Amino acid sequence: MKKSLIYLPLAAMAFAACDNTQDLIFDDSAAERLEMGKSEAVEKLTADGGLWAMEYFSNSDERGYVMLCRFSKDGSVEVSVNHEWQTVPYQFNQETSLWEITSDNGTVLSFCSHNDLFHVFSDPFNITGPFAPTNPDRNDEDIDETGYGHSGDYEFQVMQCEDHNTMRLLGKKRSYNIWMHRLASDTDEKAFLDQVMTMTNGIFSNKFPKLFITDKESGEVFVAHSSRGIMNVYPEAGDSITQAREKHFITTADGIRFSSPFKVLRADGSEYEISEFAFTETGGLVSDEAEFSMPIKVGYVELLTSPAYNWTLMPGEGSDDFVELFDSFVAEHDAAYRSMRFRSLVFGYDSKTQKYSMTINEIGRHIMPTYYRQSSVNDGVLLFNISKTDANNNGLARLNKLPALEQLMDMFNDNEFTITTISELCPSELTLTSTENPELYFKLNLE
Amino acid sequence: MNFRKYIMLSVTAGFLAMASACSEDDLGPTIFPDVSDDADPTSYTYKFDTWINREYRDVYNLDFKYKMEDVEADMNYNLVPASYNNARDLCLLTKYLWFDAYKELAGVDFLKQYGPRILHLIGSAAINPSSGTEILGLAEGGLKVTLFKVNEMDLLNFNQLNEYYFRTMHHEFGHILHQTKSYPTDFNLLSTGRYDDGSWQNKAIGYVASLGFITPYASSQAREDFAETIANFVTRTDEAMELIKWMAAQGWSTGVEASDDPAQDADKPYYCRYYYADPQNPEDRTYFLSSVEKDPDYRPAVVGMNGEYLHSVAEVEAYLDKLAERYDIHSVEDEDTVDGLDLINQKQQIVRNWFKEQWKIDFDKLREIVQTRQRNFDIEALRAEIDAIPDPVIGE
């Protein structure tokens, strides 16, 4: 009886072997799934016109670049760029090359034939030209990148992303996250890239190198420097060397995005992460974690009463009434002073007299006519208060000879002006509008 | 064994048979997707792909990879793909100057049997940042040849084509051949002790020629010496070969005392002539006439005292004759105890015999065919072969 018990497991094994209902982990074979992944990637890339904005990072020492890629089903891709790594920097250019989806490392997008505009980030040559990296410790001598170049990827693993209009790629060698966002097929590539460049140039400027970031959670304020796409951040009261963290980022049409979450070090040693900032309507930057601001927090009018900045008024930049008045002054000036023609009107600060000034910038090497002003700010409104008597000799001479100049100065002095700008972080262009007559306005540009 | 045990064993065997018999024997559908081998008629590259299939795959069972696959390359290098147009042109030239040359000489079956199975094009050179050297070609396992630097190809510059591409393809095929049938070990013995794998790139062609090497790279290793001997003999023009052999017959000196480190001496320029600036002072020698493997026009050259590039023996002799009117010119004593010219000729003879005995190929005839083809290729006519491929029929 006991011996017969050994047959029970055998019997169980025999019948269990007939059970073919075991669940499979995958419905299809590995080869079929790879082919399916390739097909899905091709379909997604080429759908709806196949135009994508690629947010590309090549290495950790330079900013990211937006490039547009139009993928066609025939295996060609048209790449559009306006980056600086071309024969003519920042020029809009397009070039067609080949792409394919392979499966050598999961599903892989490969830009498999050389495209001068795209593979410039992967070519292993020494980087040359006006934007080539230099080493400040060795008198800014050229850094030899031969064998490396920008070290950028041109093959990317296609990562799973359910959103039909978004694709996440992972650089095959450098492992940077490269995001692609679908654009409408009829998007004007040049206009799109021009807009991104405008945002790139307009959001940060070496004229305003120091900005503030406020940590929303702790309220702590950090100093931020953003040089050529690399942000350097440290606590306002902290050490700019030991507590500084830096990260490269890309400016897109919607804001800025770091190559990976930026861990900012608080004064108490804790950290918080920022992945991206979105543009506000006024040209600011804000995220769920933090917010950018200018060092001058009370308003832009202070910029006009700051000794650090000179503002230029060029002919033709204002409302019709203003332009008419200004043009008549310029015509009168140039008729009276043919060898010292008018160039611009400059509002600045005269360090010799330590007074705010308005200077007529003329052609020639003489003392420029200058009028001193006692500009003031009340409730965010600017009063020019330009003196007609407190001026240098040339200034008084012009005033005596040019009635239109007196009319122009009266216009400045008789109005109060509010100040607006298109970018609150980089207000290099200001619009001054009369509070009494909103139809009267003019523009000032930072020198 | 009693009867009861027989019954038990039978029952056991029965269960085991049932267990195995229950598995299904019917084959399911293939797990591999049904993919056509033909070129995709909707593809941007349909005509080129069809031409490659017809001329390489169907004839030589060769996969011509012009779209770079990084898994086929060394991932330690930063490499980029070849541009489509350059890849197409080099693909055409490879067939015309290499495959068709051997076909003309040895018949189509030769390369069917011994040719590589994969040709892979890469746009950039494989640059080694530490040594500054560039890999222009690779041959692996007798099966795969990789050609680099395709994006720099200049069809209007024959010397550049010869330097970077024609010579490289014959060099790499030399490797493929000796990876299939070994070359005589006598070859290795000719320059034993003079190979320098570490600093060959710093040596001038004149200096290494006088040691018996056809190029500086030939002085790196014996097997590279062998492949260089093949490639240079086949692709170099008569003028260039004569000049290199002239260099091989000269004595060369840095003009300064040798240091203890031969690798450092390799960096110094070597000269083959000198004169006495002050005839009264025999110690005051002024050395001149150096050499470069490739001048700005990608040609081997002897370099005059004011940087003049002299590309033939006749030019060198005329230059020296003219200088002799002003100076008392002397040749540098050949003190290396090596007859470089004789060694180069011996190496060429070994290669000649090896081709004849192992491959039934006339090495001189091969050179003649390649030289003729190099001088006379018409890239437009070659491109027309691709253009002549009928347009695809889509939708049937």
A positions 104-123 inside 8 Å of B (CB): 104-105, 110-116, 119, 122-123
Note if the pTM is more than 0.95. Answer: no
Yes or no: say if A259 and A57 are a contact pair by the CB < 8 Å rule.
yes
Find the closest chain B residue to A97 by CA distance. Answer: B84
Assigned token pair, B301: 């050259």
C-alpha distance from A170 to closest chain B C-alpha (Å): 15
Average per-residue pLDDT for chain A: 89
A121 pLDDT more than 70: yes
Average per-residue pLDDT for chain B: 89
Sheet with strand B63-65: strands edge to edge: B63-65, B118-121, B144-147, B137-140
Assigned token pair, B71: 């898994």
Q: What is the pLDDT of residue B2?
A: 54
Q: What is the pLDDT of residue B132?
A: 83
B15 pLDDT more than 60: no
Report the complex ipTM: 0.83
Cβ count near A5 (within 10 Å): 8
Find the closest chain A residue to B75 by CA distance. Answer: A173
A297 pLDDT more than 70: no
Q: What is the pLDDT of residue A238?
A: 85
Contact A146/B132, CB-based, under 8 Å? yes
Assign B59 a pLDDT band (cuts: 50, 70, 90): very high
Dist. CA B110–CA B129, nearest whole Å? 39
Closest of A352, A403, A356, A398 to residue A375, by C-alpha: A356
| Residue B395 contacts A where some CB pair is shorter than 8 Å | no
Assign A311 a pLDDT band (cuts: 50, 70, 90): very high
E strand map for B61-172: 63-65, 118-121, 126-128, 133-135, 137-140, 144-147
Q: Name which of B2, B15, B27, B122 to mutate to probe chain A: the one with the most chain A Cβ atoms within 10 A of its Cβ.
A: B15
DSSP string, A153-221: -SEEEEE----TTEEEEEETTT--EEEEEE--TT--HHHHHHHHHHHHHHH-BTTB-EEEEEETTT--E
Angstrom CA distances, A105 to A111, A159, A170, A372, stand at 15, 11, 11, 70
Q: What is the pLDDT of residue A135?
A: 79
A152 pLDDT more than 50: yes
User: Mean pLDDT across the stretch A278-301?
Assistant: 79
Q: Where in chain B is the domain with CATH 3.40.390.70?
A: 45-174
Q: What is the pLDDT of residue B267?
A: 72
B14 pLDDT more than 80: no
Q: Which residue has the higher pLDDT, B2 or B67?
A: B67
Q: What is the pLDDT of residue A30?
A: 77
A293 pLDDT more than 90: no
A positions 45-104 inside 8 Å of B (CB): 72-76, 97-98, 100, 102, 104
User: Mean pLDDT across the stretch A128-141?
Assistant: 81
pLDDT tens digits for range B255-303: 887 767 766 666 788 999 999 877 788 778 899 999 999 999 999 999 9
User: Mean pLDDT across the stretch A55-80?
Assistant: 96
CA angle (B156, B160, B163) in 5-degree steps: 150
Contact B81/A111, CB-based, under 8 Å? yes
Strands B118-121 and B144-147: parallel
B4 pLDDT more than 70: no
A303 pLDDT more than 60: yes
Q: What is the pLDDT of residue A15?
A: 56
| Residue B66 contacts A where some CB pair is shorter than 8 Å | yes
Q: What is the pLDDT of residue A10?
A: 60
Assign A78 a pLDDT band (cuts: 50, 70, 90): very high
A positions 120-179 inside 8 Å of B (CB): 122-125, 146-149, 151, 154-155, 172-173
pLDDT tens digits for range B344-384: 999 999 999 999 999 999 999 999 999 999 989 999 999 99
Assigned token pair, A240: 């700019």
Least confident range from A377-391, B79-93, B310-324: namely A377-391
C-alpha distance from A27 to closest chain B C-alpha (Å): 11
Assign A144 a pLDDT band (cuts: 50, 70, 90): confident
Count CB pairs under 8 A between chains A and B.
111
User: Mean pLDDT across the stretch A251-262?
Assistant: 92
pLDDT tens digits for range A195-245: 999 888 878 887 888 889 999 988 888 989 887 789 999 998 888 888 899
| Residue A228 contacts B where some CB pair is shorter than 8 Å | no
Contact B67/A147, CB-based, under 8 Å? no
Q: What is the architecture of the domain spanning B45-174?
A: 3-Layer(aba) Sandwich (3.40)
Q: Name which of B70, B75, B128 to mutate to probe chain A: the one with the most chain A Cβ atoms within 10 A of its Cβ.
A: B70
Q: What is the pLDDT of residue B257?
A: 74
A29 pLDDT more than 90: no
Q: What is the pLDDT of residue B96?
A: 94
| Residue A283 contacts B where some CB pair is shorter than 8 Å | no
Question: Mind listing the domains of chain A with CATH numbers?
Answer: 30-188 (2.40.128), 204-295 (2.40.128), 302-446 (2.40.128.230)
A117 pLDDT more than 60: yes
Contact A119/B81, CB-based, under 8 Å? yes
Yes or no: say if A374 and A382 are a contact pair by the CB < 8 Å rule.
no
Cβ count near A80 (within 10 Å): 21
Residues in B closer than 8 angstroms to A7, CB to CB, are 11-12, 15
User: Mean pLDDT across the stretch A366-381?
Assistant: 88
For domain B181-380, give the CATH number.
3.40.390
List Cβ neighbours of A199 (8 Å cut-off, separation of 6 or more): A251, A252, A253, A279
Residues in B closer than 8 angstroms to A100, CB to CB, are 67
C-alpha distance from B284 to closest chain A C-alpha (Å): 38
Assign A298 a pLDDT band (cuts: 50, 70, 90): very low
Tell me which residue in B18, B42, B132 faces A74 most closely, judged by beta carbons: B42
